[in-house]
Amino acid sequence: MRRARHPIVVIGSGVAGMAAALAAAPAPVRLLCRAPDGSGSASALAQGGIAAALGEGDGAAAHAHDTLEAGARHNDAAAVRWLCEAAPATVSWLAAQGVAFDRAADGRLQLGREGGHGARRIVHAGGDATGAALVRALRARVEAASHVQWRGGVDAEALLLRDGRVAGVRVRDTRGRCEEIEAAAVVLATGGIGALYAHTSNPPGADGAGLALALAAGAAPRDLEFVQFHPTALAVNGHGLPLLTEALRGAGARLLDAAGAPLMHGLHPLGDLAPRDVVARRVWQARQQGGAWLDATPVAGDWQVRFPTVLAACLAHGLDPRREPLPITPVAHFHMGGVATDLDGRSSLPGLHAVGEAACNGVHGANRLASNSLLEAVAGGRRLGAVLAATARLPAGGTGRWIERGAALPPENLPALRELLWHAAGPVREGAALHDAWRMCAAAAGAGWQMRLAKALLCAMRLRTRSLGGHCREDRGCPA
Ligand code: SIN
């Protein structure tokens, strides 16, 4: 008797998960996510674009060089070469999926420049709304794809292990009902960990739930200590804060201190466009001395076309970026670490895969280059989907056992954990504070999976005793 073909289960509805689901055709895919309507991914909020060496005189080798420099050469060089070589084809594929990239009057792609890039190589769609444009286009493709069955409003809480392989996932819906799904393979495309911090550019769902599930099941992590802090989010009340894209500084916006003096003066040759970690630390310090501001009033051109997302977010908070300086704070933005994978997204646990920000394949090193994240999510998703279509196996028989992530921290305890991580594991770190925070999380590890994940993050941060990339150990000296 022929056994039914189990689906590939993809958890996460950002661009990495959707690209993997589409590329897995014709294998059946179940695409699951927490938000009932599939919204809520970090991809949809991404204001940066996609880096690709498409300009005259530019090339994959130059893009790779800049990626390695940003990553403090902690990157896996082969992974970087793959990503940069895949970038132009990734942009073409996205255009074929219906993404309307911004073009000049002659029809050629407009190429922007961002911090850390030695050439104009960033493509955007809808100005600062590239992430949302990608999500819209891929979502339409997913909904039209007969091999993908999409379901929102479910949380993946356990993995089925059978004969040493991940063979299924158990999900719980918003009304507490469980479903056990046998899977030919499970893909974690659950995003990063920014929502574990008091201040973040990430949506609430980017809380490391997928990473915590993988760790509970015994998958190996990699580079957990490397978190990128973005220097310019709007300093207003709230947890997830609106980002003020780096492209604003590329277009003439200036960083100011409380006295209205240039914030980066004399600190770095690149001034306001110094590497993200350097600017983030300066803004962090300035906030302790009275505050920091981004003056975007010199930005020329039509804000509705160039920066519609920033404009709308500022106006919603009663601030007009065209007329007044904006209060800013650094925010947790991107996790370079994650579930350790190879370039095909395989984790150390057979049957379990990870892609996008949830994964760490070494491509970003100790600090991600601007506009390499959507690129990696799409290129990695497509690569993983194609591999799974060719290799996903019929599951082995037998009973297996369920490995649970465990109960969540009571919601009223989350703000304290977020403050703890913000102060001990933020843009500026120091040995004693890391140790104290780690001890607190270790003592409270039974209180919820977020505590155990925080403990694992803090452990990695303690073990890396020297500053590197986004990891700044003030007690050992941080660059500029
Ligand atoms: C930004 O637009 O400043 C963020 C882009 C990115 O994180 O790559």
Answer whether residue 206 is part of any domain.
yes
Looking at the structure, tell me whether residues 134 and 219 fall in a common domain. yes
Please work out whether the CB of residue 47 comes within 6 Å of at least one atom of ligand 1: yes
Please work out whether the CB of residue 227 comes within 6 Å of at least one atom of ligand 1: no
Looking at the structure, tell me whether residues 46 and 151 fall in a common domain. yes
The string of DSSP codes covering 374-387 is HHHHHHHHHHHHHH
- Residue 149, beta-bridge partner list: 30
Looking at the structure, tell me whether residues 322 and 364 fall in a common domain. no
Please work out whether the CB of residue 245 comes within 6 Å of at least one atom of ligand 1: yes
User: What's the whole-model pTM score?
Assistant: 0.96
Output the CA 349–ligand 1 centroid distance in Å.
32
Token output for 284? 């962090």
Output the CA 452–ligand 1 centroid distance in Å.
29
Answer whether residue 475 is part of any domain.
no
Output the CA 99–ligand 1 centroid distance in Å.
19
Please work out whether the CB of residue 373 comes within 6 Å of at least one atom of ligand 1: yes
Looking at the structure, tell me whether residues 168 and 153 fall in a common domain. yes
| pLDDT tens-place string over residues 317-332 | 999 999 999 999 999 9
Looking at the structure, tell me whether residues 64 and 178 fall in a common domain. yes
- State the closest ligand 1 atom to the C-alpha of 370, by its place in the atom list counted from 1: 8
Output the CA 49–ligand 1 centroid distance in Å.
7
Please work out whether the CB of residue 309 comes within 6 Å of at least one atom of ligand 1: no
Answer whether residue 141 is part of any domain.
yes
Angle between helix 209-217 and helix 449-463 axes, rounded to 10 deg: 80
For ligand 1, mutation pick of 83, 114, 309, 374 (most atoms within 8 Å of CB): 114
Percent of the chain exceeding pLDDT 70 equals 98
Answer whether residue 471 is part of any domain.
no
Please work out whether the CB of residue 130 comes within 6 Å of at least one atom of ligand 1: no
What CATH number did the domain enclosing 120 receive? 3.50.50.60
Query: Under a CB-based contact definition with an 8 Å cutoff, are residues 153 and 62 in contact?
Result: no
Spatial distance between the Cα atoms of 406 and 412, rounded to a whole number of angstroms: 17
Would you say residue 1 has pLDDT above 60? no
Looking at the structure, tell me whether residues 364 and 245 fall in a common domain. no
Pairing of strands 122-123, 50-51: antiparallel
Would you say residue 173 has pLDDT above 70? yes
Average pLDDT over residues 382-405: 87
Please work out whether the CB of residue 42 comes within 6 Å of at least one atom of ligand 1: no
Q: Where are the beta strands (DSSP E) in 86-153?
A: 122-123, 148-151
Average pLDDT over residues 81-103: 98
Please work out whether the CB of residue 341 comes within 6 Å of at least one atom of ligand 1: no
Output the CA 335–ligand 1 centroid distance in Å.
13
What CATH number did the domain enclosing 317 receive? 3.90.700.10
Answer whether residue 126 is part of any domain.
yes
Exposure letters 401-437 (e unless 16+ CB within 10 A, then b):
eebebbebbeeeebeebbebbbebbbbbbeeebbeeb
Percent of the chain exceeding pLDDT 90 equals 88
| pLDDT given for residue 40 in this prediction | 79
**Res. 394 pLDDT band, cuts 50 70 90:** low
Answer whether residue 318 is part of any domain.
yes
Answer whether residue 391 is part of any domain.
yes
Looking at the structure, tell me whether residues 57 and 178 fall in a common domain. yes
Looking at the structure, tell me whether residues 14 and 97 fall in a common domain. yes
Query: Under a CB-based contact definition with an 8 Å cutoff, are residues 121 and 55 in contact?
Result: yes
For ligand 1, mutation pick of 63, 124, 200, 243 (most atoms within 8 Å of CB): 243
Token output for 90? 């990734």
Looking at the structure, tell me whether residues 269 and 369 fall in a common domain. no
**DSSP 3-state of 86:** helix
Answer whether residue 114 is part of any domain.
yes
Q: Which domain-ending residue is among 357, 372, 403?
A: 403
Looking at the structure, tell me whether residues 177 and 49 fall in a common domain. yes
Please work out whether the CB of residue 201 comes within 6 Å of at least one atom of ligand 1: no
| pLDDT tens-place string over residues 419-453 | 999 999 999 999 999 999 999 999 999 999 999 99
Average pLDDT over residues 98-113: 94
For ligand 1, mutation pick of 113, 241, 246 (most atoms within 8 Å of CB): 246
Average pLDDT over residues 456-461: 98
Please work out whether the CB of residue 248 comes within 6 Å of at least one atom of ligand 1: no
Write down the residue that tokens 């297996």 correspond to.
Answer: 400
- State the closest ligand 1 atom to the C-alpha of 47, by its place in the atom list counted from 1: 2
Average pLDDT over residues 216-226: 98
Looking at the structure, tell me whether residues 238 and 217 fall in a common domain. no
Please work out whether the CB of residue 67 comes within 6 Å of at least one atom of ligand 1: no
Show the domain range for 244.
Answer: 229-333
Looking at the structure, tell me whether residues 416 and 369 fall in a common domain. no
Average pLDDT over residues 23-31: 96
Nearest CA to ligand 1 atom 4: 48
Q: Which domain-ending residue is among 333, 348, 372?
A: 333
Active site positions, annotated: 276
**Res. 3 pLDDT band, cuts 50 70 90:** very low
Least confident stretch, 40-44, 66-70, 169-173:
40-44
Nearest CA to ligand 1 atom 5: 48
Output the CA 292–ligand 1 centroid distance in Å.
19
Mean pLDDT, the chain, rounded, equals: 94
Pairing of strands 50-51, 326-335: unpaired
Nearest CA to ligand 1 atom 7: 370
The structural domain count of the chain equals: 3
Output the CA 134–ligand 1 centroid distance in Å.
15
Would you say residue 44 has pLDDT above 90? no
Output the CA 376–ligand 1 centroid distance in Å.
14
Please work out whether the CB of residue 347 comes within 6 Å of at least one atom of ligand 1: no
Please work out whether the CB of residue 330 comes within 6 Å of at least one atom of ligand 1: no
Average pLDDT over residues 133-138: 96
Output the CA 47–ligand 1 centroid distance in Å.
6
CA distances (Å), origin 56, targets 67, 109, 229, 232, 453: 19, 12, 32, 31, 45
Q: Which domain-ending residue is among 298, 318, 333?
A: 333
